[in-house]
Amino acid sequence: MKHHLKLLSLTLISVLFLTCGGSKTEFETSPTSGKTAVANNGMVVTAHPEATKVGMDILKQGGNAVDAMVGVHFALAVVYPSAGNLGGGGFMMYRKNDGELFSLDFREKAPGNAYEDMYLDENGDVIPGESLYGQKASGVPGSVDGMLKAHEKFGSLPLATLIEPSIKLAKKGFRITSKQARNYNYFKDDFIKNNRNPKKVTLIKEGQWEEGDLLVQKDLAETLERIKQNGRSGFYQGKTAELIVAEMNAGNGIITLEDLENYNSAWRTPITGNFRGYKVYSMAPSSSGGIALVQLLKLSEHFPLSEYGSKTAKTVHLMTEMERRVYADRAEHLGDSDFWDVPVKALLDDDYIAERVAQIDPSKATDSGEVRAMELDNIVEGEETTHYSIVDNMGNAISLTTTINSAYGSKVFVEGAGFLMNNEMDDFSAKPGVPNVYGLLGGAANSIQPEKRMLSAMTPTIIEKDGQLFMVVGTPGGSTIITSVYQTILNVIDHGMTMSEAVSEKRVHHQWKPDWISIEKGAFDDAVRAELEAMGHVIKERSSIGRVDAILVRPDGSLEGAADPRGDDWAMGIE
């Protein structure tokens, strides 16, 4: 494992020297910088070295974790446009060093003119692609509101100081990595197809992008400048808002000026749970992440997984059986709690969890067709997303996941404003029984209604041990987000891995329907596969799962930052 990591780091050093533009030392691997970083006085882990550096510089200037979060968020909108965003939304989990927890839901909302059947044709069938591509796929963006609201409450440095580095990166440009070059080339046709004026789209280049090319985004710099000058109204009103609405009207989009003005992010009470003596805090609806994660952990407590080992047939079988039940509940019961009565207590109830455990046969796969969601009578009460983790030198911690949904969202750039709009409307259930792009099912709980938030799987999570900060963790990956966070936690708590080992470890995933286990290549050997197949499991190999960026507080109090080797992700700490 260690050797494997070292090799990866070495490859990355050479790649980043060539591609990241800065001085040779800027993204050099050292004990406090790289895929793994260990430090005592602060840590930032994000999907891109340039964004990590922005966050780190803010911490070094005396900013707190929330300041660094705001800086990183705007920086990712510039240097990681596939998921970093102004035109999307997300979830923030914040633990102050005194142990108080706050979570902010800045998920997009359905526009005021949205309606339940808006993606169905006259026969009631889902119109392929309409919730994924083009202007109509977008919800009302929440990121800017979320960042400014969090900054207003907790920030210590002026907003201008936090946005300025991103303006510079947009105006002067930054050097793209080889992965980005490949990605921009891959999506070129989609960008051309979905934009009126491909010449104005900065991600389209005549010829091919290459590693080390400079990406300059002048319109985006101006949009950021307007936010810096005018705060919220620099985005939700005035020129930026007008450009968004003009973009909507140029296609079949339905977001209005009123929708933008009315957008508001919402403080939520985190979902909490205990797992083997650790306390877990994660995201409440409109994300399903917290409830599903805590269900999985509570189910797992019924089994001695550490004794069974991390990738044995026994453990993978049990995880799969738990996951299929949790995702069945998700499809039936979870949706935006401002619109739907989510039975949180009932879903996390100890007796209900025990009931679910009793349904699991230790040696045989259940057919997902036979797995039902919790009966309402039991109810006691009414690649692309990105995650970053930050801890400052006072011990304040941020876990934040944000997205425009699939890679490059709706593929529509707001002309003149230089940023991509989300295609988050696809996260609603367009029609009961018809899966979304991640194969997820849903029904009334997650149907489209004006101003409702579409159900998310994002799972920004913070864990405490003995009342002290222990882990900050999260990931992108659509439906696999929940199971990737779950496995990363198990890897550390049950299987004794370091943070980096836990993040690098191959992942497996099951989501009830479709009824198969998705695995990363090499997740387990042929013997384990054969054993699982003999129990009745179907196994399918797929491309990489998740990009976990996490921080662990080690027993000596030092911070171990772990950046996922699957991407350009980078960790930096203050010694």
By the criterion CB under 6 A, which residues form the site for ligand DON? Answer: 383-385, 403, 405-406, 424, 427, 456-458, 476-478, 481
Provide the CA 169 distance to its chain's centre, in angstroms. 23
Shorter beta-carbon distance to ligand DON: residue 32 or 475: 475
Shortest Å, Cβ 405 to ligand DON:
4
Cα Rg of the chain, angstroms: 22
Give the chain's end-to-end CA distance (angstroms, integer): 25
**The two three-digit tokens of residue 538, written as one number:** 């179907």
Question: Alpha-carbon distance 268 to 283, whole Å?
Answer: 8
Instruction: Map tokens 């201008």 to a residue.
Output: 160
Shorter beta-carbon distance to ligand DON: residue 64 or 446: 446
Shorter beta-carbon distance to ligand DON: residue 130 or 384: 384
**The two three-digit tokens of residue 554, written as one number:** 């080690």
385 is catalytic: yes
Question: Do residues 354 and 302 lie in contact, with contact meaning Cβ atoms separated by under 8 Å?
Answer: yes
Quick one: CA dihedral 338, 343, 348, 353, positive or negative?
A: negative
Question: Alpha-carbon distance 422 to 88, whole Å?
Answer: 5
**CA atoms within 13 A of residue 545's CA, in its CB half-sphere:** 28
Shortest Å, Cβ 46 to ligand DON:
15
Catalytic annotation, pick one of 46, 202, 223, 385: 385
Output phi, psi for 512, to 5 deg.
Answer: 75, -70
- Three-state SS for 170-226 is HHHCEECCHHHHHHHHHCHHHHHHHCCCHHHCCCCCCCCCCCCCEECCHHHHHHHHH
Pick from 279, 268, 271, 286: nearest CA to 489: 279
Question: Do residues 68 and 399 lie in contact, with contact meaning Cβ atoms separated by under 8 Å?
Answer: no
Shortest Å, Cβ 459 to ligand DON:
9
Bond preceding residue 514 cis, omega within 30 of 0: yes
Residues serving a catalytic function are 385
